[in-house]
Amino acid sequence: MVSFKKPDLDSFQERIHIATLFVTFCFLLLITRLVWLQLVSHGKYALLAESNRIALVPAPANRGLLIDRNGIVIGRNYSALTLDVNAEEVKGNVDQLINDLSEIIAISPRDRRNFKRSLEDSRNMGTFPLRSMLNETETARFMANRYRFPGVEIRARSFREYPYNELASHLIGYIGRVSQRDKERMQAEIEGAKADDPDALQASFLPGIQYVGKIGLEQSYETVLRGVPGYDQVEITAGGKPVRTLSSAPSVPGKNVVLSVDIKLQYLVEQLYGNFRGAFVAIEPETGDVLAFVSKPNFNPNDFVEGIDSVTWKELNDSPQKPLYNRPLKGIYPPGSTYKPFMALAALENKKRTPSQSISDPGYFDFGNHTFRDDKKGGHGIVDMQKSIVESCDTYYYMLARDMGVNMMHDFMKPLGFGQITGIDLQGEARGVLPSTEWKKNTFKKPEQQKWYEGETISLGIGQGYNAFTILQLAHAMANVANNGIVMKPHLVKAIEDPFTRNRVLTTPKESYRIDLNAENIEVIKKAMLEVNISGTSAAAFKGTGYQVGGKTGTAQVFSLNSKEYKHGSTAEFLRDHALYIAFAPAEKPTIVIAMVVENAGFGAQYAAPIARKALDFYIEGKWPKEIPEWKRAP
C-alpha cells in the first residue's frame, strides 16, 4: 500500500511544481503587459486620457439683427426656456421618454418628429431641444419631476424670430439647422478663408454653428450675421455629461444688417395685393436702394427656423399659388407694353425715329403672310411717339421693331439690364431672355431652330415673343432711365452695423457704369410717361396726385410660372393675362421707381396702376390708404 502511494504523491508534487511554474509564467506575462502599458506607453495613454475627458462645448454667437432703413427690426432673437435632452442618455428609448415627459409638458407630434430627426442627424452626440418656449407652469411642473428624467434639463436658448411673420418673407429668407451639406460648404469656405487670412482660424469652430441662413438675406449675409461661436473647455464623462468648466472663449456676436428696404412701404404693398399673386420692386434710382421687394403670396419664415413640419411644408410646396417662389427674383414675365418706353428710347438713340415722326395705324400690321393686330379695333389713327406711349399703340412698335431688327434692340436693351443678372444681394437670381440672333443660335440645338426669322422680331417690339424678364430687371431698367443712364447696382442692404458701438459701415455699391444717353431723348420718354397718367391708359388711377408721376401700363400674355400645368379647377384663372405697371416719381427728380406685375389679373391699368398709385402716395406724401389696416410696430 505504502509503496503504491509514495510515487503517486511524488508525481502529484511534481505536477504542483509545474503548475507553480505555469502560474509564475502567466504572472510574468501580466507584469510585462502592465509594465508596457504603465511605463513604456504611459505618455501616450496619459495624453489619451486627457483628451478623453475634455470636450469643447460650443457657445453659439448671437445672430445679428435685420433692421429696415428706418430702424425697424424685422429679424431678431429672443431667449426662451427650452427642454433639452442629452442624446446619450436616451439612446434606444426615445419614445418612452417623450411619452413620460408629455404627461407633464405638452409635446406636439411635430416636436417629437423634429427631435428625432435631430438625434438621427447628430449620431447621438450632444444635447437637443425637445420643446421650446416653456411657460412658467410647465417649467415648475418639470422641476418638480426632474429627478425622474436624468439627462433632461431646462435651459435658456436664443431663438431667431421674425416679428412680422409673413411680411417680406422672400427677401428676409430664414435660418434653419445646419445640414450636412451646409457643413461641408462652410468647411470649404473656412479653408479658403484660412489660406488668405491666418486669423480666420478661430472662425473654424464649426460645431458652434447650429443655424445657418437658408434663403434670402439670411443666406446672402450669413457670414456677417453669424458671428464667431465661442466655446467652453469642459471636463466630460464618456456619455458627454459636463462635469466642470476648465476654460472658455467668448463668442463674438454677429453684426446687424441694415436694409435699404422701407418695411412700411413693403407692408403697404403686400396688403394692397390682397389675394392677388405677383411681384413688386421699388428702387431709389439715385442709389440703387431697393425700397420694396414684394413677392405674393408669401410664407411665414418662423415656421422654418426649428425645422418645418411636413404638413405645413407639403401645403406650401404643393400650393398652385407657389408661395415659396421668389417672384421678383426668379419669376420671368414678358414685359408687354411696359417695354414700349424703352423701345421708344432705343428708336431715338439709334435715330430710327424722331419724336414727331408719325405713322398711320389702321389697327393691324401685315408682315409676310401674318397679320399682327392692335388691341384697338380700327386703329389709333395718326400716331407720333408720345401718342404711341400714351395710348399704347402696338402698330407703332411692330413697325419700329421691323426697322430696328432684333440685334439693335438687344444691343440697346442689354446695358439697361434686360435679360442680365442685376447682381442684387440675393442668391438665385433668374437671367431671363433678351433675344438676339446669337442668343437663338446658342440656345437651340437643331439648325432650323437656330435661324432667326424676321417675323419673330415684330412681336418683340411690344414686349412679347421671346422677351422674358424679371420684375427686378424691369425696375432696374426703369431706374437706369430715371437716373439718366447712370446704372446703380440694386441692393437690399445699405449698411452693416456693429452691435455694440452702433457704428455703421455703408455697403452700398458705387455706380456700376454709365450708359451714354441723350438727355433730350430721356426727357421725351419721361414726358410721354407723365402724359400716360394724365390722359393715357392709367389716368384714372392717378387722378389728383400732388406730385408728377410717369408710368406705363402693360398686359402680358401668360407663360405660366415654370410652365407647369395646373391641375386644379382654377385653370381658367391661371390663363388670364398678367397686369404690369412701371412708374417713376416725382418727375423732376425721381426718388422712387416701380415695376410690378399682378399675375392673372387682366389689364394693367385696372389692377396694377392703382396699387402703384397708393404705394407712391405713401412713399412720397406719407398718405396711408383708408382700406389698409394700420402699420403696427411689433412688440
Catalytic residue positions?
337
Give residues in contact with another protein (CB under 8 A).
Answer: 4-5, 8, 11-13, 15-16, 19-20, 23-24, 26-27, 29-31, 33-35, 37-39, 41-42, 44-46, 48-50, 52-53, 235-239, 241, 243
| Integer Cα distance of 363 and 368 in angstroms | 17
- Report the half-sphere exposure of 130 (CA within 13 A, side-chain side): 22
Output 39 or 195, the one with its CB closest to another protein: 39
Q: What is the largest CA-CA distance in the chain?
A: 149
Least spacing, CB of residue 126 vs another protein, in Å: 15
Contact between 533 and 550 under an 8 Å Cβ cutoff? The reply is yes
List Cα–Cα distances, 10 to 7, 15, 308, 370, in angstroms: 5, 9, 84, 126
Contacts of 621 (CB under 8 A, 6+ apart): 546, 547
3-state secondary structure 302-349: HHHHCCCCHHHHHHHHHCCCCCCCCHHHHCCECCHHHHHHHHHHHHHH
Q: Which is closer to another protein, CB of 26 or CB of 575?
A: 26
Q: Which of residues 45 and 559 has its CB atom nearest to another protein in the complex?
A: 45
Separation CA 359–CA 347 (nearest Å):
14
Cβ proximity to another protein: between 127 and 470 the closer is: 127
- Nearer to another protein by Cβ, of 240 and 278: the residue is 240
Nearer to another protein, 34 or 421 (CB): 34
**Residue 328 near residue 291, CB atoms below 8 Å:** no
Return the H-helix or E-strand segment holding 266. Answer: helix 263-273
Nearer to another protein, 156 or 238 (CB): 238
- Residue ranges in 391-450 assigned as alpha helix (H): 394-404, 406-416, 437-443, 447-450
* Dist. CA 335–CA 315, nearest whole Å: 31
* CA proximity to 608, closest of 417, 461, 474: 474
Please state the closest distance from residue 148 (CB atom) to another protein, in A: 15
CB of 187 to another protein, least distance (A): 23
The SS3 call for residue 454 is: helix
Phi, psi angle pair for 349, to nearest 5°: -65, -35
Quickly tell me which residue has 452691435 as its cell.
499
Dig out the grid coordinates for 457 from the structure: 422680331
Q: Residue 33 Cβ, how far from another protein at the closest point, in Å? A: 5
Query: Residue type for 222, please?
Result: E
In angstroms, what is the minimal distance from the CB of 564 to another protein? 47
Q: Tell me how far, at minimum, the Cβ of 93 lies from another protein, in Å.
A: 16
Helix/strand/coil for 630 = coil
Integer Cα distance of 138 and 134 in angstroms: 6
**Smaller CB separation from another protein, 235 or 309:** 235
The cell for 188 is 470649404
Minimum CB–partner distance for residue 244 and another protein (Å): 11
The sign of the CA dihedral 491, 492, 493, 494 is positive
Nearest to 240 by CA among 84, 438, 380: 84
**To the nearest whole angstrom, how small is the minimum distance from the Cβ of residue 85 to another protein?**
18
Shortest Å distance, C-beta 209 to another protein: 25
Among the listed residues 295, 269, 280, the one whose alpha carbon sits nearest the alpha carbon of residue 619: 269
